Chain A
Amino acid sequence: MWRVTLKGRGDFEAWQQPARAFLQAGTLPRDIDWVEEDGAAGDLFAGAPTLDLPQPSLQQTALTVPRTFVLLAEAVICHSDPSRFDLLYRLLWRLQMERTLLSIPSDADVARAFGLEKSVRRDSHKMKAFVRFKEIEGAAGQGERRRFLAWFEPDHHIVARTAPFFQRRFTDMDWIIATPKGSSAWDGKTLTLSTESAENPMLDDATDALWRTYFSNIFNPARLKVKAMQAEMPKKYWKNLPEAGLIPGLIAGAEASVAAMAARAASQPPLFHERLQTAAANAPSEVSTAVPGTLDAVREQARSCTRCPLHCRATQTVFGEGPETADVMFVGEQPGDQEDLAGRPFVGPAGKVFDAMLDEVGLDRGAAYVTNAVKHFKYEPRGKRRIHQKPNVGEVQHCKWWLKLELDLVRPKLVVALGATALSALTDSRQRFSDLRGTALPFGPDQTLLVTVHPSYLLRIPDEARKRAETAHFRDDLCHAATLLTRLPQTTTRSVGSRFIDS
């Protein structure tokens, strides 16, 4: 039977060294008695542990442990439970045979170790939260560093573990954190640590009064939840928190202050409210700068469209874009996720395909008018994304109002319907989409309609070969459009309206 006495102030190496020696010697966990030196008898054994260690056996093998174990052990060592040394050695021992042990959180030893690690982590977290610095007066001259002191009472030996956090956070001031389990200090250059226990300096800080004011006013007496508070801020911490003294009073007075609030009837609004209301009533309502009857005026009106319920779910109306004198108008289905956010048509993934294709066939997007059959994005949310949903007949019908105005004002010579929804918005033709695709159809007076697929269709084809074929087909259609545009008469007489649109 071996007996090892450790100081037990969170020093990992003090345990690691004997543990390594025992493991190399093949000493069974049950043959070691790990003892924590207690304050009184401390001096008797100081420095002794390394003296009575076993000699390593001859066939010495390299000892390896998973990195997770080291991290775990470093934390567990800081716990104040006297059985932690034994538990860690037992885990170390078992890990030699069961390499995956730490992946089994339901194992009794593993669960216990993770439990200890958790309470060390929690204690360290609470130290970060509940340390309260008090300024030490008189020391700060011009340009000198301000000095602060804090008193804290941790459950475990976490001062050394937690001190670097305070160094990173309070770099520009000098501070000391004193605790019964050791102290740490920072002067701008060095972080000093000690495991000696300190005394409570009993300091005051004038700013604590402001903090107490804040604490009592941010509290909402109508939502009293004392248990929830105490779960996170247990009473053991209260004695060192300047605000905690207020808690009993706040709890006791909560009911009365809610009742007082309810009893007070609503009073007459203050004078400035009346003034604001009158000013608002007399303020001229926002005047549109757009000339009535122009595309800009229509675009402005469409911004507040509520013809169908889609507007409540979408970010904004995505109106068509392009010169009012464009020869060609492209009509898509509806804006997508990106279009909805940006407020512009064809800027998302399908828009990129569309732009690239226009480029290839030598059409200038800047000279074309690009719009959608439906002006608001219809979707279903799926976690962090929005899944596009096809607009229904009713929504397309409601939105025709805007499409018709766009057609009337732009009066393009060629209209290109991208996809079946666009086609159904533009014509009442009962013919199948696939029968109409690619042929130039008569539309309004001096107007031609060309039907092709929507570019997003190309993005959805999984099979590469088919995708290539369909992309080529789409390019041919756009080529056709380009040719039609050059052949179309360059006359300026334009008829108003389009035959097909009114249903």
Chain B
Amino acid sequence: MKKSMNERLAILSDAAKYDASCASSGTTKRDSSRSGGLGSTEGMGICHAYAPDGRCISLLKILMTNFCIYDCAYCINRSSSNVERARFSVEEVVWLTLEFYRRNYIEGLFLSSGIIRSSDHTMEEMVRIARELRTTHNFRGYIHLKSIPEASPLLIEEAGLYADRLSINVELPTDAGITRLAPEKRPSGIRKSMGDLRLKIEAANDATLQTKRRKRFVPGGQSTQMIVGADDANDTVILGTSARLYGSYALRRVYYSAFSPIPDASKNLPLIKPPLMREHRLYQADWLYRFYGFDIKEITASQPGGMLDLALDPKLAWALANRARFPVDVNTAEREMLLRVPGLGTKAVNGIVSARRYRRLRLEDLARLKVSLKKVQSFVVAEGWSPHRLIDRTDLRAMFEPKPQQMALF
């Protein structure tokens, strides 16, 4: 008997939850006031709900089907898993997206799929959904499509006309890891797909001499995801791979997904609690690399074994390992150095640089810029404040470490 809509929605959203991304930002601004249709995107993404796992829900994140001919060990939908299978028709996905959107539950659709029959067949169905939404239903909301590995470039090109973002997952930080855990996937094919997409996006962005108008093609760019903790790659390797992906394919984001136990798991994998803190530290390190001028080697140098410090955030860990560079005078230091002070974010640094043109800044001024004095005061000099060799204290690390907690008895 055919499963009901509700049952299939349960199966196909459960199957989609291991993809970390739910971003709906970074695309072009557009709305329906002229077209009289439905939907808008206005720069900043909106999280319409939060699940108790702390993750934002901004898109309807589902699989078209969780049948799959691939057998990737880390995936709940791999062919050797006994998970319940289901499938949506093109019309059903379109209907769900529009009805959810009208009630303001979501910002758009994030559609992925298991691979049925062939890569091209699967990709074709996904493109049909996006095309229906855009052309038949005049839908202007956000669409993120997961590219199917080895799908034909022509299909990817068509997908790019309708989607705000395309992504293809590199899955694991090393080629060897992919070969071992995802035997049907080819790492070089995934890189080629990302390279092709970057070239196409760049070509669409080149204003032609005649029109100056740019072609609309994947305005939200491309992203990818790496699973953390399913293989033995250390943080240095993971961050190195991210840096290469950012540099090579102009990715908007690399998502890190702590490997989470899945039902009916493969015997090749650790069935453990997902390493959430490690995932968090990787995101912090990723930010330091992209927005704070840190080099990957600097971030990982202070720790043995190529792993990030789990007890301290990577910027603080770097500062403690490089004490000679502190304290930093907030009234005179270069912007680049201010960005390296633990506790100062890009916004606070902008505030400091703006305000100090008119006034000498004191610690109270920093507090009003919403800076945590507890964190920052050991590392900065301000008007009326110098940290008195605080920086040389041997117990400085202990001051920042989380307080030891008594173990639960049971």
User: Interface with A: B29-37, B160-168, B205-213, B310-318, which one?
Assistant: B29-37
Partner of B105 from the list A211, A266, A311 (CB cut-off 8 Å) is A211
Q: Is A262 an interface residue (CB 8 A)?
A: yes
B261 x A222 contact (CB < 8 A):
yes
The CA of A207 and the CA of B95, in the complex, are separated in Å by 11
| Complex Cα–Cα for A133 and B105 (A) | 9
Binds B, one of A365-373, A379-387, A456-464, A471-479: A379-387
CA distance A132 to B103 in the complex (A): 6
Interface residues of A in 113-136 (CB under 8 A from B): 125, 128-135
How many residues on B have C-beta within 8 angstroms of the other chain's C-beta atoms? 95
**Does A167 reach chain B (CB closer than 8 Å)?**
yes
Cross-chain contact B261 with A262 (CB below 8 angstroms): yes
Question: Within the complex, what minimum Cβ distance (angstroms) separates B301 from chain A?
Answer: 16
Against A, the Cβ 8 Å flags (1 = close, 0 = not) of B32-49 are 110111111010101111
**A233 and B57 alpha carbons, distance in the complex (Å):** 11
Say whether A129 contacts B264, CB under 8 Å: no
The reply to whether B13 and A218 form a contact with Cβ atoms under 8 Å apart is yes
Please tell me if B302 contacts chain A, counting CB pairs below 8 Å.
no
- Whether A125 pairs with B17 at a CB distance below 8 angstroms is no
- Tell me the nearest residue of chain B to A171, going by C-beta: B32
| Cβ A266 vs Cβ B366 within 8 A | no
A 133-156 binary contact with B (CB < 8 Å = 1; else 0): 111000000000010101000000
Q: How far is the CA of A316 from the CA of B18 in the complex (A)?
A: 29
Please state if B358 and A100 are interface contacts (CB–CB under 8 Å): yes
Within 8 A of A (CB), among B121-147: 138
A316 near B188 with CB under 8 A, answer yes
Complex CA gap A124/B96 in Å reads 27
B102 x A146 contact (CB < 8 A): yes
CB contacts (< 8 Å) of A228 on chain B: these are 50, 54
B10 in the interface, Cβ–Cβ < 8 Å?
Answer: yes
- Verify if A250 is at the interface (C-beta below 8 Å from B): yes
A270→B103 contact, CB < 8 A: no
B198 part of interface (Cβ distance < 8 Å):
yes
Among A210, A268, A272, A313, find the residue whose CB has the most chain B CB atoms closer than 10 A: A210
Q: Which residues of B contact A340 (CB under 8 A)?
A: 195, 248
Interface string of B42-74 (1 = CB under 8 A from A): 101011111111111100111000000101000
Instruction: Establish whether residues B82 and A269, one from each chain, have CB atoms under 8 Å apart when the complex forms.
Output: yes
Report A54 CB to chain B, min CB distance, Å: 32
Of A132, A172, A224, A316, the residue contacting B32 (CB under 8 A) is: A172
Please state if B99 and A207 are interface contacts (CB–CB under 8 Å): yes
Partner of A219, one of B17, B56, B196, B273: B17
Is A487 engaged at the interface, CB distance under 8 Å to the other chain? no
Return chain B residues, CB-CB under 8 Å to A241.
Answer: 49
Q: A213-B9, A269-B81 are in contact. Are A384 and B261 (CB under 8 A)?
A: no
**Is B247 touching A218 in the complex (CB atoms < 8 A)?**
no
C-alpha spacing A250/B247, complex, angstroms:
40
**Nearest Cβ on chain B to A484's Cβ, whole angstroms:** 36
A selection of 19 A-B contacts at a CB cut-off of 8 Å is A106-B368, A132-B104, A132-B105, A207-B103, A209-B6, A211-B105, A214-B13, A215-B49, A215-B51, A217-B10, A217-B13, A226-B52, A229-B50, A229-B51, A243-B49, A266-B265, A270-B82, A277-B71, A381-B246
9 closest residue pairs by CB, A with B: A228-B54, A225-B54, A381-B247, A106-B365, A168-B31, A269-B80, A171-B32, A219-B51, A111-B368
Using CB atoms and an 8 Å cutoff, list the residues of chain B in contact with chain A. Answer: 5-6, 9-11, 13-14, 16-18, 31-33, 35-40, 42, 44, 46-57, 60-62, 69, 71, 79-82, 96, 99-100, 102-105, 138, 174-175, 184, 187-188, 191-192, 194-196, 198-199, 243-244, 246-248, 250, 258, 260-267, 271, 273-274, 276, 289-290, 351-352, 354-355, 357-359, 361, 365-366, 368-369
